[in-house]
Structure 1
């Protein structure tokens, strides 16, 4: 949660799917509870311990958005900076690009280091216009071309305005989570169909109206988030409209 900007309201939907993609949530033998349900239970437990702060609730009383308390955030970051116990762990392999202050976050410069091949990449960008999308597209394309992104399992571009997804994105065969919510993309590139291990594809709040038939190639896809304000249709399935 320290990857998110300070005081950022994190949607539980987003956090739960990230936990599952990373393998932090396991299903017990004989337990019929879904991974999502178990992740939400963990979240509630952390909230009761005041380690996570609930910000907004749903109509059913469940947590809708949350954040990491500012003091706890400072403690975690200070502890991480002063100890080497995180060396070689997944903590070192999570990277965030932040452009909100017109500069890269400190840890994003390390993405291309040879020692820390990232597993999780997040982009936080509120810049407007087409240039930010082009810029981020070049970063992703270069990282893949140099094989620095070859092992990533999470690529989260939520709220990046129309990022230009590079053709070589289809090489990310380990990718489980692709977040494109609020990107306002107009179409889904065909190379998305090559992501054979993709489990979550979030294209809600985009301008995509037709989902090409290659979606059916994603055999491991469990979560597909679509727009609610208008019907989105999957090619090859004339009987069902997805919303």
Structure 2
């Protein structure tokens, strides 16, 4: 799969917020005001996971303002591509990270699971060291392994079973451990974990969005049929994935609940690979090939390539199996396809466009009213959406999120009996309105 390219504007805006530029300074002349501030300050900036030199060329004019070198500012960049480091700072600027040694590996392991004391047998300690040894000194593999063990009994038998299932090949330790962590998940949690691969790499995912998508696709089912109970169970599932170190918490609410989360790049790649094998979902890069396989696609996500989207719908004019459609790009051409195609089983529709600039008014075709299974709709970006009156025909609709776009809401939406979450911006007053409808 292709790495999602970061945008220089997004990075600079994030830095500007962190260094304290006002909203007006960020809006009027972001680059100039940020450059002016950095000239007067001593700073350390960490840019994580830079994959290509083009993004650096866009950033350096702002992040390296002409100033007295004695100020002592520093920029630290991480990358899996050593050529990026050579381009930016030369060979002498590169520090190659090595795997952890055995003692530091074991320290990390015990920190993530528990501290060994007199209550734990010598044999359990030795098994723990053997398990850590199979991780090859790779921190992510160690952390994920500790997460697996937290869900097991702290007995020699339980730990030995995990040890026996781990590969002896240290060089394949990370990939093997990550795959093992998926197999170790309860059956009900596996599709919830794979769902993270539908979002672009490094994407910060709101817990509210994620759990309601799970519910919309019936990945969360409660016998009582009570939606409040389903939402609580979905939250429990998310917390379980976090406790297993498979998901990282990005933000929490004031009362400690997960507000947003993200997934590590290597685990994201694992989701994509496993999802393709099981036909759980496909990306814009692996949805093609055998026409019969294209017709069987249940979920698909487009991270950036509009040509791939056009080709997919051209080769699959009747996407009758499609249950979830994700689109993350700067073009809203998806809606032109919706006017001509039938999405009878579609349950989740997510369209996220760029916030860098306003787009023209987007008219959603009346055919959306025929998508009788649609339960979750989210439209985000600087777009002005014209919702058709036919949207009131969506009797199964549970979540309508157009909070980050601008639209006029058909009056009949309020009469929908199953609608629980309605988030939108009232354009005429430029007021943000968030509404939650309960049973």
* Aligned partners of 1:119 and 1:154 also within 8 Å: yes
Residues 48-68 of structure 1 deviation map (CA, whole Å, 9 limit, x = unaligned): 101111112222222222112
Residue 366 (structure 2) aligned to one of 167, 171, 180: 167
* Aligned partners of 1:27 and 1:33 also within 8 Å: no
Residue 3 (structure 1) aligned to one of 173, 198, 206: 198
Structure-1 residue corresponding to 2:54: none
- TM-score w.r.t. the length of structure 2 is 0.44
Residue 392 (structure 2) aligned to one of 177, 183, 193: 193
Is residue 215 of structure 1 aligned with residue 413 of structure 2?
yes
Counterpart-to-counterpart distance in 2, 1:30 and 1:50: 30
Counterpart-to-counterpart distance in 2, 1:52 and 1:107: 33
Bigger fraction of residues in helix: 2
Structure-1 residue corresponding to 2:208: 13
Is residue 151 of structure 1 aligned with residue 345 of structure 2?
yes
Distance 1:111 1:118, change over 3 A: farther
Gaps of 5+ in 1: 235-243
Is residue 97 of structure 1 aligned with residue 302 of structure 2?
yes
Counterpart-to-counterpart distance in 2, 1:20 and 1:56: 22
* Aligned partners of 2:363 and 2:385 also within 8 Å: no
TM-aligned CA deviation for residue 226 of structure 1: 2.9
Q: What secondary structure does 2:377 align onto? A: strand
TM-aligned CA deviation for residue 105 of structure 1: 6.7
Residue 261 (structure 2) aligned to one of 38, 42, 66: 66
TM-aligned CA deviation for residue 106 of structure 1: 11
* Aligned partners of 1:211 and 1:232 also within 8 Å: no
**Aligned pairs (5 A) from 1:12-91:** 12-27=207-222, 34-81=229-276, 83=277, 86-87=278-279
Counterpart-to-counterpart distance in 2, 1:233 and 1:45: 28
Distance 1:44 1:138, change over 3 A: same
TM-aligned CA deviation for residue 107 of structure 1: 9.8
Q: What secondary structure does 1:7 align onto? A: coil
Counterpart-to-counterpart distance in 2, 1:62 and 1:110: 43
Structure-2 residue corresponding to 1:137: 335
Q: Which has the higher contact order (CA 8 A, sep 6+)?
A: 1
TM-aligned CA deviation for residue 232 of structure 1: 5.5
* Aligned partners of 2:198 and 2:281 also within 8 Å: no
TM-aligned CA deviation for residue 98 of structure 1: 2.6
Structure-2 residue corresponding to 1:239: none
* Aligned partners of 1:93 and 1:120 also within 8 Å: yes
Structure-2 residue corresponding to 1:241: none
Q: What secondary structure does 1:37 align onto? A: helix
TM-aligned CA deviation for residue 111 of structure 1: 7.5
TM-aligned CA deviation for residue 113 of structure 1: 6.5
* Aligned partners of 1:98 and 1:105 also within 8 Å: no
- Larger-gyration structure (1/2): 2
- TM-score w.r.t. the length of structure 1 is 0.75
* Aligned partners of 1:182 and 1:204 also within 8 Å: no
Residue 321 (structure 2) aligned to one of 117, 139, 151: 117
Distance 1:30 1:12, change over 3 A: closer
Distance 1:58 1:105, change over 3 A: farther
Mean alpha-carbon deviation: is it higher for 19-28 or for 3-12?
19-28
